[in-house]
Amino acid sequence: MSRKEAAVFHAVLSGRFLLKGFTNRDLRECLGIRRAVDERSRRRQSARITRLLRLLRAHRLIRKVSGTRYYRVTAKGRRTMTAALKLRDVDVAKLVA
């Protein structure tokens, strides 16, 4: 798992989004993406996060809250992303021994 993927998983699993969910803008802020100066860059940043959200939805790790711009982590998503983050930190040599 790459650092970028881990950062996305950490941001999505953050406790501050547990009740209300998160938006594209919330995720951009969590990932530390600075607000773009011009319109073209802003749209590009937004599109990049939208592609990430679409990928997470395709794997059923998040779901869209109907009628809003918010997304919430599914039970499967919580299990899968937490396990992936734990496996990233595990020392393989200790598992083999």
pLDDT single digits (tens) 51-84 = 999 999 999 999 999 999 999 999 999 999 999 9
pTM: 0.81
Domains for the chain: give ranges and CATH numbers: 3-96 (1.10.10.10)
Residue 97 pLDDT: 64
* Tokens coding 72: 């919430």
Q: What is the CA radius of gyration of the chain?
A: 15
* Tokens coding 5: 């993927």
